[in-house]
Structure 1
Amino acid sequence: MGFRDLLNKMVWLNKFKMEESLKGYKSSEVHCIEYIERNVDCNVTKLAEHFYMTRGAISKLTKKLIKKGIIESYQKSDNKKEIYFRLTEQGKAVYKIHEGLHNEFQERDKAVFEQVTDEQFDIMISFAENYNRHLDAEIKKQGIILSQNKLE
């Protein structure tokens, strides 16, 4: 419960500034923009896997972003079948605003993190990695169950 409270407080504190600075963009759109900027050759499949969304939902999202002029699609000369996405100049501007806000929030919270020892940090990272692996295994199990249910 403590971790959930912590995350909820961070989201609540950051929400107003994010919404004000990124008016006209939904959280899912901004995070999609961020992922595309940080990863090479993003396609619908990569985005769907990363965000745990269906390919159909990602297709809708990317079409909205293309219509807004935030991303553009492209194909590689050696693979005309696959469609990839990259940010436009307008998309890069949105990304920079989002990154600036994250930097501002990190600066705000810096005093807390400066007090954390290397040992404490390593323990927290280890816990987060272990919990992440556990959740990945649970998601994989659910995927198997879901695919089995579809067969029945």
Structure 2
Amino acid sequence: MSNIDKIFEDVRLIHDKILFLNTEKMQKALAGYTASEVHCLEYIGKEEDVNVTKLAEHFFMTRGAMSKISKKLTTKGAITSYKKSENKKEIYFELTEEGKRIFDIHEGLHAEFRKRDEHLFEAIPEDVLEKVESFLTRYNEHLNTEIENKK
């Protein structure tokens, strides 16, 4: 197995193990919301002027799929829509109090999970973490280019 193949295998295994460790607690704390809905709330809570197009591009989904998710979140009272005075056509989303509650629970769980693993990351030299981050950034940029070329 090449180094690159080993890296991809390790990343997949790490992802699977993180899901295994975190999913049950997430599902209990965020009952009534799917992972896709929670991640949409996270994005809406962190970004400005989020609309269906921005959601679709961020999550690599169709606008139709994002419209369905946003309608479910509106029905659950987690988001509300608004229009800007300069553009009455475009619909944007913002979190309601319920949406902020779910957002805060989700952020808190992520902080808890990071704290669980903190001792490992503190033991890794900063220059090693910088190299890993640099590699991941470069690879992510490459994938962005590939996605753009596919459009």
TM range (shorter): over 0.9
Residue 3 (structure 1) aligns with: 11
Matches within 5 A, 1:19-98: 19-98=27-106
Residue 121 (structure 2) aligns with: 113
SS at match of 1:83: strand
Residue 130 (structure 1) aligns with: 138
Q: What's the CA shift string for 1:31-72, capped at 9, x where partnerless? A: 000000000110011100000000011011100000000000
The one-letter amino acid of 1:67's match is T
For these two proteins, the number of residue pairs brought into alignment is 143
Q: TM-score, normalised to structure 1's length?
A: 0.92
Q: Where in structure 1 do 4 or more consecutive aligned residues deviate above 6 Å?
A: none
User: Which stretches in structure 2 are left out of the alignment for 5+ residues?
Assistant: 1-8
Take 1:137 and 1:13, find their aligned partners in 2: how far apart are those partners?
33
Q: TM-score, normalised to structure 2's length?
A: 0.92
CA apart distance, 1:115 = 0.7
User: Which stretches in structure 1 are left out of the alignment for 5+ residues?
Assistant: 144-152
Take 1:137 and 1:40, find their aligned partners in 2: how far apart are those partners?
24
Take 2:11 and 2:104, find their aligned partners in 1: how far apart are those partners?
28
Question: Percentage identity across aligned positions?
Answer: 53
**For the aligned residues, what is the CA RMSD?**
0.8
Take 1:138 and 1:12, find their aligned partners in 2: how far apart are those partners?
30
